[in-house]
Structure 1
Amino acid sequence: MRIASLLPAATEIVGALGLADDLVAVTFECDRPEGIRATRPVVVDTALSAGLTPGEIDAVVRERAARGLPQYELDRDALRDAAPDLVLTQDLCRVCALPESTVTEALADLHLDAAVLTIDPHTLDEVLDAVAAVARAAGAPDAGTDLVAGLQDRLTAIDQAVRQRPRPRVLALEWVDPPFLPGHWVPAMVRRAGGEPLAGIDGGRSVATTWDRIADEAPDVVLVAPCGFGLDDAVAQAGAVREHLQDTPIVAIDSASYVVRAGPRLVDGIEAIAHALHPEVVPAPPPGRIRALS
């Protein structure tokens, strides 16, 4: 099957299922399986300029949304040439990826008779369901069953490790300028890692807040997980948090890989957060995933 993945999480899922050879098109953000972006046509790119600060990105996204402009650009010619049998897309967040409506319109205009699977998980359980759905659509249901079972086993191991531990109050931030509280599966990730999430919205959208409201929550730990950014950028952006919460422990995480992407590595993220909160009972993750800041 020829698979066009227009969503980094979907590309990661396809790779984890052992179907990377079936990928015929990806996005500019697809980095799992490793090296996939260099060996497949890139059919989705961002409309944002490189090198913007979090505040500048927020301003550009708001301005483009107000004008009805897309946040992403679809290379229709490259998609036509890829001739996919299956297209994986999303309709959860127009800021995070190309919306489904753009994809279906393009397929019709290009006269491509491809099946379309829209992946819109809002919760951690729905992410696991999405893994199984991709496997079924790609003709590999057994691989999906095995992958989900392995992820569930790892989650159960974390549950058992932290069950009797005190649960620190964790305030996760998906953006720092302005500060945004998390939604979707992020509160569940903190909970499964042995923390008590503060002010997040299970299964809902992330929402803007203020530093005064954050201080009023009196968190035991702040988890800096800026959407789309890796560990080094999360560490740098933690400086804005330190200005407002000088005495609160801060943990920075590679959010782009392990928090905001609705794929198998969310379990890696939960393991990393669990170690940060409970280092006595949860093994340290590989370097480069999470960092406690003094």
Structure 2
Amino acid sequence: MRIASLLPAATEIVGALGLADDLVAVTFECDRPEAIRATRPVVVDTALPAGLTPAEIDATVRERAAQGLPQYSLDREALRDAAPDLVLTQDLCRVCALPASTVAEALDALDLDATVLAVDPHTLDEVLDAVASVARAADSPAAGEALVAELQERLRAVDEAVKDRPRPRVLALEWVDPPFLPGHWVPAMVRRAGGEPLAGIDGGRSVATTWDEVRAHAPDVALVAPCGFGLDDAIAQADAVRAELPGVPLVAIDSASYVVRAGPRLVDGIEALAAALHPDAVPAPPPGRITALG
């Protein structure tokens, strides 16, 4: 089967299922499996200019949305040349990836007869369901069942390690300028890692807030997890959080890989966060995932 993945999380799922050889098109953000962008046509790119600060990104996204402009561009000719049988996309967040409606319109215009699967989980359980759904759509249901079983077993191991332990009050921030409170699966990640999530919306959208409201929650720990950014950028952006939350311990995480991408590495993120919150109960993760900043 020829698979075009227009969503980094879906590309990662395909790779984790052992189906990377079936990928015929990816996005500019796809980095798992490693080096996939170097070997496959990139058919989705960002419409945002490079080098913007978090505040500038927020302003640009809002301006483009108000004008009805897309946040991403689709290379229709490259997609046509890829001739996919299955196209993986999403409708969860127009800021995060190309919407399924745009893809469907493009396929119609290009006269491509491909199945379109929208990967739209809102909760952690739905992320696991999405893994199975992609596997079924790719005619590999057994691989999906095996991968989901492995991920569930790892989650159970974390549950066992942190049960009956004090649960710090964790305020996760998905953006720092302006501050955004988390939604979707992030509160569940904090909970499974042995923390008590503050102000997040299980299964809902992340929402903008103010620093006064952030401080009012009186967190024991602040998790700096800026959407789409890696660990180095999260550490750098933690300075702004430290200035607003003096005295509150901070933890920075590679959010792009382990928090906002709805794929198998969410379990890596839970394991990493559990180790940061309960270092005497959970083994430390590999370097580059998470850092306790004090």
**Aligned ranges 1:118-133 → 2 under 5 Å:** 118-133=118-133
Q: Does 1:285 align with 2:254?
A: no
Name the counterpart of 1:165.
165
CA distances 1:123-148 after superposition (whole Å, capped 9, x unpaired): 00000000000000000000000000
- Percent identity between the two aligned chains: 84
AA in 1 matched with 2:280: E
| Residue number in structure 1 paired with 2:145 | 145
Query: Displaced runs of 4+ in structure 1, greater than 4 A?
Result: none
Task: Report the counterpart of residue 201 of structure 2 in structure 1.
Answer: 201
Query: Could you say which residue in structure 1 is the equivalent of 2:92?
Result: 92
Distance in 1, matches of 2:79 and 2:215, equals 48
The amino acid across from 2:202 in the alignment is D
Cα deviation, residue 260, structure 1:
0.0
1:45-60 → structure 2 map (5 Å cutoff): 45-60=45-60
Which residue in 2 is equivalent to 1:263?
263
One-letter code aligned to 2:191: R
Q: Which residue of 2 aligns with 1:245?
A: 245
Give 1:164 deviation, angstroms: 1.3
CA distance in 2, matches of 1:85, 1:24: 10
Question: What is the CA–CA distance in structure 1 between the aligned matches of 2:193 and 2:101, rounded to whole Å?
Answer: 36
**Deviations 1:249-275 (CA, angstroms, capped at 9, x unpaired):** 000000000000000000000000000
**Aligned match of 1:228:** 228
Task: Quote the residue 1:75 is aligned against.
Answer: 75
Q: What is the DSSP-based 3-state SS (H/G/I as helix, E as strand, rest coil) of the residue aligned with 1:156?
A: helix
Structure 1 residue 200 displacement after superposition: 0.3
CA distance in 1, matches of 2:244, 2:82: 49
Give the structure-2-normalised TM-score: 1.00
| Structure 1: 5+ residue stretches without partners | none
Q: Which consecutive residues of structure 2, in runs of 5 or more, have no partner in the other structure?
A: none
User: What is the distance in 1 between the residues matched to 2:244 and 2:135?
Assistant: 45
Task: Give me the whole-angstrom Cα distance separating, in 1, the residues matched to 2:114 and 2:222.
Answer: 44
Residues 59-70 of structure 1: pairs in structure 2 closer than 5 A: 59-70=59-70
- 1:164-200 Cα distance to aligned partner (Å, 9 max, x none): 1100000000000000000000000000000000000
Distance 1:244 1:45 in 2: 34
Count of equivalent residues: 294
Q: Which whole-Å CA distance do the structure 1 matches of 2:244 and 2:54 have between them?
A: 17
- Please show how residues 173-184 of structure 1 align to structure 2 within 5 Å: 173-184=173-184
Please tell me the root mean square deviation across aligned C-alpha atoms, in Å: 0.3
1:2 corresponds to which residue?
2
Secondary structure (helix, strand or coil) at the match of 2:116 reads strand
